[in-house]
Structure 1
Amino acid sequence: MQFVAACRKPQVFCIITEYLSDGSLRAYLHKLEHNSLPLQKLIAIALDIARGMEYIHSQGLIHRDLKPENILINQDFHMKIADFGIACEEAYCDLLADDPGTYRWMAPEMIKRKSYGRKVDVYSFGLILWEMVSGTIPYDDMTPIQAAFAVCA
Structure 2
Amino acid sequence: MEFCDQGTLEDWIENRRGKIPNKALSLGLFKQIATGVDYIHSEGLIHRDLKPLNIFLVDTKQIKIGDFGLVTFQKHDKQRTEDRGTPLYMSPEQLASVEYGNEVDIFALGLILSELLYIPLSLQETYKKILLQKLVATDPKMRPKTPEILKTLKEWNNVPEKKMRNTR
TM-score bucket of the superposed structures, by smaller chain:
0.7 to 0.9
Contact 1:62–1:118 (CA<8 Å) still a contact in 2?
A: yes
CA drift of 1:134 comes to: 2.2
Structure 1 residue 54: Cα displacement: 0.7
TM-score by length of 1: 0.72
Identity of aligned residues (%): 34
Of Structure 1 and Structure 2, the greater strand share is in: 1
Distance (Å, rounded) in 1 between the aligned partners of 2:72 and 2:19: 34
- Hey, what does 1:78 align to over in structure 2? 62
Does structure 1 conserve the Cα–Cα contact (< 8 Å) formed by 2:55 and 2:63? yes
- Tell me which of 116, 129, 132 is aligned to 2:116: 132
Structure with the higher fraction of residues in helix conformation: 2
Partner of 2:52: 68
CA RMSD of aligned residues (A): 2.1
Whether the 8 Å CA contact 1:36–1:135 is kept in 2: the answer is no
Conserved in 2, the CA contact under 8 Å of 1:35 and 1:134? no
Gap runs ≥5 in structure 2: 122-136, 139-168
Structure 1 segments (4+ residues) deviating >4 Å: none
Determine the structure 1 residue equivalent to 2:43.
Answer: 59
Q: Provide the C-alpha distance between the structure 1 equivalents of 2:20 and 2:91, rounded to a whole number of angstroms.
A: 23
Q: Which residue in 1 is equivalent to 2:16?
A: 32
2:89 is matched with 105
Unaligned ranges ≥5, structure 1: 1-16, 138-150
Give the whole-Å Cα distance in 2 for the aligned partners of 1:103 and 1:35.
27
Cα pair 1:36 1:132 within 8 Å, conserved: no
Residues 1:117 and 2:101 aligned together: yes
Deviations 1:73-121 (A, max 9, x none): 1136211110001111111431343x31011110000100111100100
Inter-CA distance 72–36: structure 2 relative to 1 (3 Å threshold): farther
Mapped to 2, the partners of 1:25 and 1:102 lie a distance apart of 16
Contact 1:34 1:136 in 2 (8 A): no
